[in-house]
């Protein structure tokens, strides 16, 4: 048996002012053939999984490129085409192969390409041939298109949001692909269009119970895998929206029936799944009350929409400015994206005091820059944080303390949302000494921060992210979906 593996991934916010080019892929993660690390990344966990299986089972594994860019705006056309063709050339050189396994995100949009993953998969299928088994794993915040389903034999998506199960789901798609090559199963993909788009966190009910019900179905009779594609609010594409996916062992009737049943169960939950959101003033009042009541752990304020993981800049200052104006102290902020300010801090050096303007530079809507006298507590050329078993680069970074306060702000050069408390400890900030933590993340931070937080408040401070589909001007959406249409299942598409 001969298996080819590759990964090409990013999440595109088509409304974002931050363009994505090759430099973004190289800065975030780029591993040419044979250079993928032993640790997985969010979208390339199929690599270590296949390496382990190949070592145990003795099949030939051919590794192509694995690359990821932090979420941003439209991918430059030349960048997408060059990375796509790099992988296709590697596949061409490896032919014939029995299987192709791809680690994808599913929300990549490039100039001239609304469906990058569909384009890649169609070309992979044309090269590999109709008898090659092709499997792929996706992030649920993606767009599932007919072109992708047509060219895949097996697909799944992470079930959890936050995505704590990306390694497990990679292992599942690898296992099913290998079983299909050996003729042990005949996978069939069934899809139901839920005709809705919403935020679907599995860290709380009702989505916790719903996702548990999906997991319980896997392995029953002919059901091989079941996934929910959430959709991605910030992608203006024709196939925007949630879809239920069931992969059966040659049982398309059951697959279609189950996909529809669970898809309509999800539709019944519309409007009841989001985290409770607070305005800035309300959130600060609630947080200050927790501290006044004697909180022994920090209160976490999640800046949900100024989240680089959703493709925006992550340089918003609205919450920090409000905290400074309110006189709140003992604060840690992770992070504010500002390459220029980091450059100044590196030049000044640790221990230096300087007048610094930081944040609020990428565009209107996320607050004005902060002008302050600061002391540089840390200034490093490389910083990292954890995301489960993966390491996420922050690039050159610095920690500044605003004069007259104990407010410490992490400034970074690689846009990355906050995943883990080690983003603070890795840069010398002891969160046990902080009353408040501000994190830029919608929900991926939750799994790691919940155990160390007194309480968590989700804050809708406003930014470029299109968080309300009813107010977002989608130009390419091809069919009615909720909440734009109250009952899209009663409307002819």
Name the residue ranges covered by the structural domains of the chain: 2-267, 280-459
State the pLDDT at residue 493. 62
- Token digits of residue 184: 């042990």
The rounded distance, in Å, linking the Cα atoms of 226 and 89 is 32
Nearest to 148 by CA among 165, 131, 136: 136
Angle between helices 252-267 and 207-217 (to 10 degrees): 170
Do you find a cis peptide bond into 96, omega within 30 degrees of 0? yes
Do you find a cis peptide bond into 206, omega within 30 degrees of 0? yes
Q: Which residues contact 369 (CB under 8 A, 6 or more apart)?
A: 317, 357, 358, 359, 360, 361
State the pLDDT at residue 250. 98
In angstroms, how far is CA 120 from the centroid of its own chain? 20
Per residue in 248-285, is it b (16+ CB within 10 Å) or e — as a string? Answer: bbebeebbbebbbebbeebbebbeebbbebbebeebbe
Beta strand pairing call for 353-358 and 455-459 = unpaired
> How are strands ordered across the β-sheet holding 370-387?
277-278, 455-459, 299-303, 436-439, 331-337, 407-412, 390-402, 370-387, 353-358
- Signed CA dihedral, 284, 285, 287, 291: sign only: positive
State the pLDDT at residue 366. 84
294, burial (CB in 10 Å: exposed 0-12, middle 13-18, buried 19+): exposed
Question: By three-state DSSP, how is residue 405 classified?
Answer: coil
Whole-angstrom Cα Rg for the chain: 23
Do you find a cis peptide bond into 162, omega within 30 degrees of 0? yes
- Can you list the positions of beta strands (E) in 230-282? 243-249, 277-278
* Domain spanning 2-267: CATH superfamily: Response regulator (3.40.50.2300)
Q: What is the pLDDT along the chain (493 residues), one digit of tens a residue?
A: 999 999 999 999 999 989 999 999 999 999 999 999 999 999 999 999 999 999 999 999 999 999 999 999 999 999 999 999 999 999 999 999 999 999 999 999 999 999 999 999 999 999 999 999 999 999 999 999 999 999 999 999 999 999 999 999 999 999 999 999 999 999 999 999 999 999 999 999 999 999 999 999 999 999 999 999 999 999 999 999 999 999 999 999 999 999 999 999 999 999 999 999 999 999 999 999 999 999 999 999 999 999 999 999 999 999 999 999 999 999 999 999 999 999 999 999 999 999 999 999 988 788 999 999 999 999 999 999 999 999 999 999 999 999 999 999 999 999 999 999 999 999 999 999 999 999 999 999 999 999 999 999 999 997 778 999 999 999 999 999 999 999 999 987 6
Contact 7, 43 (CB under 8 A): yes
The rounded distance, in Å, linking the Cα atoms of 75 and 22 is 9
- Signed CA dihedral, 249, 92, 103, 74: sign only: negative
- Token digits of residue 132: 């090659």
- Token digits of residue 422: 């080690």
State the pLDDT at residue 463. 72
The rounded distance, in Å, linking the Cα atoms of 482 and 196 is 4
The residue to which tokens 């930014």 are assigned: 463
- pTM value is 0.96
> How are strands ordered across the β-sheet holding 133-138?
29-31, 60-68, 2-9, 99-104, 133-138, 154-157
Contact 410, 336 (CB under 8 A): yes
The rounded distance, in Å, linking the Cα atoms of 255 and 272 is 27
- Token digits of residue 439: 């994190």
Nearest to 437 by CA among 290, 275, 276, 273: 290
**Cα three-residue angle 48-54-56, rounded to 5 degrees:** 105
- Can you list the positions of beta strands (E) in 261-369? 277-278, 299-303, 331-337, 353-358
According to DSSP, the residues that pair with 4 across neighbouring strands are 62, 100
The rounded distance, in Å, linking the Cα atoms of 276 and 283 is 11
Contact 333, 441 (CB under 8 A): no
Question: By three-state DSSP, how is residue 322 classified?
Answer: helix
């Amino acid at each position: 048996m001969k298996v080819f593996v590759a990964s090409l991934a990013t999440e595109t916010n088509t409304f974002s002012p931050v363009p994505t080019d090759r430099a973004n892929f190289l800065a975030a993660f780029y591993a040419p053939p044979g250079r993928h690390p032993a640790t997985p990344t969010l979208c390339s966990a199929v690599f270590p999984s296949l390496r382990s299986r190949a070592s145990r089972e003795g099949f030939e594994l051919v590794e192509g490129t694995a690359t990821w860019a932090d979420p941003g705006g439209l991918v430059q056309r030349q960048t997408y085409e060059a990375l796509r063709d790099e992988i296709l050339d590697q596949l061409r050189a490896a032919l014939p192969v029995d299987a192709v396994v791809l680690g994808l995100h599913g929300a990549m949009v490039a100039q001239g390409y609304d469906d990058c993953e569909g384009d890649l998969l169609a070309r992979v299928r044309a090269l590999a041939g109709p008898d090659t088994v092709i499997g792929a794993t996706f992030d649920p915040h993606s767009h599932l298109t007919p072109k992708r389903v047509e060219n895949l034999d097996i697909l799944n998506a992470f079930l959890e949001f936050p995505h704590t199960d990306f390694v497990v789901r990679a292992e599942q798609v690898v296992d099913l692909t290998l079983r299909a090559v050996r003729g042990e199963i005949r996978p069939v993909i069934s899809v139901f269009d839920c005709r809705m788009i919403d935020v679907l966190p599995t860290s709380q009910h009702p989505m916790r119970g719903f996702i548990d019900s999906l997991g319980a179905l896997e392995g029953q009779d002919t059901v091989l895998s079941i996934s929910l594609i959430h959709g991605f609010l910030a992608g203006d594409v024709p196939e925007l929206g949630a879809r239920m996916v069931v992969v059966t062992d040659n049982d398309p009737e059951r697959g279609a029936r189950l996909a529809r049943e669970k898809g309509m169960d999800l539709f019944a939950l519309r409007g009841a799944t989001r985290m409770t959101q607070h305005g800035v003033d309300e959130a600060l009042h609630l947080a200050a009350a927790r501290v006044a009541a004697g909180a022994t752990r920090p209160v976490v304020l999640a800046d949900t929409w100024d989240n680089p993981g959703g493709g925006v800049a992550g340089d918003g200052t609205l919450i920090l400015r409000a905290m400074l104006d309110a006189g709140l102290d003992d604060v840690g902020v992770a992070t504010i994206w500002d390459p220029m300010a980091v450059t100044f801090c590196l030049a000044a050096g640790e221990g230096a005091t300087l007048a610094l303007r930081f944040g609020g530079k990428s565009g209107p809507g996320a607050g004005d820059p902060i002008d302050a006298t600061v002391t540089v507590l840390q200034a490093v050329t490389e910083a990292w944080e954890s995301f489960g078993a993966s390491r996420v680069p922050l690039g050159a970074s610095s920690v500044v303390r605003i004069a007259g306060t104990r407010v410490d702000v992490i400034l970074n050069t690689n846009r990355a949302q906050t995943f883990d408390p080690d983003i603070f400890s890795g840069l010398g900030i002891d969160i046990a000494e902080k009353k408040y933590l501000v994190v830029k993340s919608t929900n991926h931070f939750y799994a790691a921060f919940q155990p160390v937080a007194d309480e968590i408040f989700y804050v809708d401070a406003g930014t470029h992210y299109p968080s309300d589909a009813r107010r977002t001007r989608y130009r390419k959406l091809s069919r009615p979906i909720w909440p734009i249409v109250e009952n899209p299942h009663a409307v002819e598409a």
